[in-house]
Structure 1
Amino acid sequence: MSDKTDTPAAPPKKGKSKLLILLGLPIVLLGTGGGAAVYGMQAGWFSVKPEEAESNEPRLLPKSEEKRAAAKAEGGEGHGAEGGGEGSHGKPTPKGEGGDKYASSYYPLEKEFTSNLQDSVHFIQVGIAVSTPYDGRVLENIKTHEIAIRSQVLMALGETSEDEVFTAEGKRHIQERLAKAINGVLKEKEGFGGVSNVYFTNFIVQ
């Protein structure tokens, strides 16, 4: 018979328990904090503000930036750099009042367009220019896809009737149709239109 007797294990000292808790707590907090950070990133809690994120889309060009560019190009203040000028009715407007909020950039398409009128023996020959309130990327897109744009413009002109070419209202409808056609090409090719208006630089009916 063995003289050895089973002795109960000594209970852990309270000091060690507290030490384990103190060491384990930061690890648990770190783990939960890291998980929360990952979740927050996936949920978009820490997303970058839209104005801080770099966008591939053209941005609206404020008139103030246009004026600075004009002044720099001319080596001085440039004409109209301080605002003012004439309003839409030809009356002088106080400085800083009236006008568009954003700058307008213009681009004339080099060659004129000739198209038969719908259900008519007449045809029209027009020269057009486009405007955009966005930065230079829109005009670069127009230059890049000018062949596709010219094709779409000719198709839109082919839908023009005699009634439209002889009235101011009809011509405005043509302008709107051409702007829509050009933006359609740009959206298809680049995902963004940006053309606000189409202007006639020449308009002949024969």
Structure 2
Amino acid sequence: MAKDKGKPAEEAVEAAPKKGKGKLLIIIVAAVVLLGGGGGAAWYFLHGKKAGNEEQAKHAEPAKPPVFVKLEAFTVNLTADGEDHYLQTDIELKVADAKVSDVIKEHMPEIRNNVLLLLSSKTAGALSSMEGKQKLSNEIKEQVNKVLHAKDADGVSGVFFTSFVIQ
């Protein structure tokens, strides 16, 4: 009988390590699955999306280079603010495409007239600050788009001063 009592105790001792080994095996398998899944997800996000974006880029239109229209230099007397000043500036217009460039060239006398009138209405003080130049840039854009009966997207989207001298 003592031997019978001993056998269940031995089985209990032997059963405990087997149970622990099973849990350890499950933990290792779970870790491998999680690491493998994490690694696969990382690869997908780093390489899989890039491949998808490259595929989309192949079918998308290539970005069009910007089109600029250079206006002849402007030299105007500025509105008197106690002293005589003049402005000499070169202006380039950023347009949607070459078609807009052609339309600008067709309307060049009217555009130059409007820009000249606008420039000559300014004072040296108003144009000496960065804000004054940016405001003038926006006003020129509005004047040209008004002549073209266009909006920024299909007309002039930017006005750039390539030289700007006040004396």
Q: Contact (CA 8 Å) 2:124, 2:166: kept in 1 or not?
A: no
Number of the residue aligned with 1:90: none
Is 2:130 aligned against 1:201?
A: no
Q: 2:111 aligns with which of 125, 149, 172?
A: 149
Identity value in percent: 31
Output one character per residue of 1:102-146: Cα deviation in whole Å (capped at 9) or x when no partner.
x5311111x2111111233111011100002x2221111011111
Greater share of strand: 2
| Per-residue deviation, 1:63 | 7.0
For residues 116 and 160 of structure 2, the distance between their equivalents in structure 1, rounded to whole angstroms, comes to: 15
**Aligned 1:40-119 pairs, distance under 5 A:** 64-66=62-64, 103-109=65-71, 111-119=72-80
Number of the residue aligned with 2:98: 136
| Per-residue deviation, 1:152 | 0.6
TM-score (norm 2): 0.57
Q: Contact (CA 8 Å) 2:75, 2:87: kept in 1 or not?
A: yes
Q: Which 5+ residue runs of structure 2 have no aligned equivalent?
A: 1-59
**Which residue identity is paired with 1:160?**
K
Output one character per residue of 1:37-66: Cα deviation in whole Å (capped at 9) or x when no partner.
xxxxxxxxxxxxxxxxxxxxxxxxx97152
Number of the residue aligned with 2:125: 163
> Do the aligned partners of residues 202 and 63 (structure 1) sit closer, same or farther apart at CA in structure 2, a change above 3 Å counting?
farther
With CA pairs under 8 Å and 6+ residues apart, which has the higher RCO, 1 or 2? 2
Number of the residue aligned with 1:185: 147
> For 1:196, what is the secondary structure of its paired residue?
strand
Q: Contact (CA 8 Å) 2:66, 2:97: kept in 1 or not?
A: no
Q: Contact (CA 8 Å) 1:142, 1:186: kept in 2 or not?
A: yes
TM-score (norm 1): 0.46
Q: Contact (CA 8 Å) 1:179, 1:196: kept in 2 or not?
A: yes
**Which residue identity is paired with 2:88?**
Q
Report the count of equivalent residues. 103
> Do the aligned partners of residues 155 and 65 (structure 1) sit closer, same or farther apart at CA in structure 2, a change above 3 Å counting?
same
For residues 148 and 183 of structure 1, the distance between their equivalents in structure 2, rounded to whole angstroms, comes to: 12
Q: Contact (CA 8 Å) 1:117, 1:124: kept in 2 or not?
A: yes
